[in-house]
Amino acid sequence: GAVVSQHPSRVICKSGTSVKIECRSLDFQATTMFWYRQFPKKSLMLMATSNEGSKATYEQGVEKDKFLINHASLTLSTLTVTSAHPEDSSFYICSARGTGYYGYTFGSGTRLTVV
Amino acid sequence: AQSVTQLGSHVSVSEGALVLLRCNYSSSVPPYLFWYVQYPNQGLQLLLKYTTGATLVKGINGFEAEFKKSETSFHLTKPSAHMSDAAEYFCAVSDGSGNTGKLIFGQGTTLQVKP
């Protein structure tokens, strides 16, 4: 079945630094990638949608200059949290859709802690 | 715009008892509906989905859900709960084959299974 590999699973960074999270589709071409943020004991909040080769579309209230999304290939999308602050600490999950089937495949998530 | 409401943020059942998790949706177009399960610090696993066709959908681990258009509902059931079913459950809706295909999640329901 479709598999999305998300790395790292956990990261701790200092306030003011940037962190990159990668999602790779291992056995299908991810034409669309979704990035979610999940707060403790809360639902998943859609941050942005990206299509391969195009600029990401951000949801209202999400700072596009802070959360940089790149989807340069059909197998890789990245989320970079720039100048991270403690309030950016959260669980980030990617989800991919591909051609030829209708479904969403989720990565295993990244726990970001900014200290 | 689409939305999902999960009635009951916390459901507690005894092992062997019926599990019923409620989900109502709002959509201006024919919806695609999903149920996901999430274990702590992990990504989401698809339990089942409804796209078109048969309104009673069977999923993994003995779960099933019925799409009721007249009630705008997609409740999740399992005849007999296992301890391993304790987790967070999310209902989600997308706009099907058209538009953005964004997946919008409900607030989540924590299922507790008592021995």
Spell out which residues of chain A touch residue B110, defining contact as CB-CB under 8 Å: 41
pLDDT of residue A100: 58
Q: Is B90 within 8 Å of A43 when comparing Cβ atoms?
A: yes
HSE-CB of A77 using CA atoms within 13 angstroms? 33
Q: Please, are residues B67 and B50 in contact by the beta-carbon 8 Å criterion?
A: yes
CA torsion through residues B104, B76, B112, A3, sign: negative
Q: Please, are residues A21 and A8 in contact by the beta-carbon 8 Å criterion?
A: yes
pLDDT of A97 above 90: no
How much is the mean pLDDT over chain A?
91
Spell out which residues of chain A touch residue B107, defining contact as CB-CB under 8 Å: 42-43
pLDDT of A2 above 90: no
pLDDT of residue B11: 97
Report how far residue A54's alpha carbon sits from residue B43's, in angstroms, rounded to the nearest whole number: 26
What tens digit of pLDDT does each residue of B49-74 get?
A: 998 889 999 999 999 999 999 999 99
Q: How confident is the model at residue A101 (pLDDT cuts 50, 70, 90)?
A: low
Strands (E), B51-103: 56-58, 64-68, 73-78, 87-94
Residues of chain B with pLDDT under 70: 96-100
pLDDT > 70 fraction of chain A, expressed in percent and rounded = 97
Spell out which residues of chain A touch residue B103, defining contact as CB-CB under 8 Å: 34, 46, 95, 104
Mean of pLDDT values over A92-113: 86
Residue given tokens 């989900």 in the structure block: B23
Q: Is B104 within 8 Å of A46 when comparing Cβ atoms?
A: yes
pLDDT of A17 above 50: yes
CA torsion through residues B45, B47, B48, B49, sign: negative
Q: Which two tokens stand for residue A82?
A: 């720039």
CA distance, residue B52 to nearest chain A CA (Å) = 12
- Among the listed ranges A51-60, A73-82, A85-94, B83-92, which one has the minimum average pLDDT value? A51-60
What tens digit of pLDDT does each residue of A42-52 get?
A: 889 999 998 88
Report how far residue B20's alpha carbon sits from residue B23's, in angstroms, rounded to the nearest whole number: 10
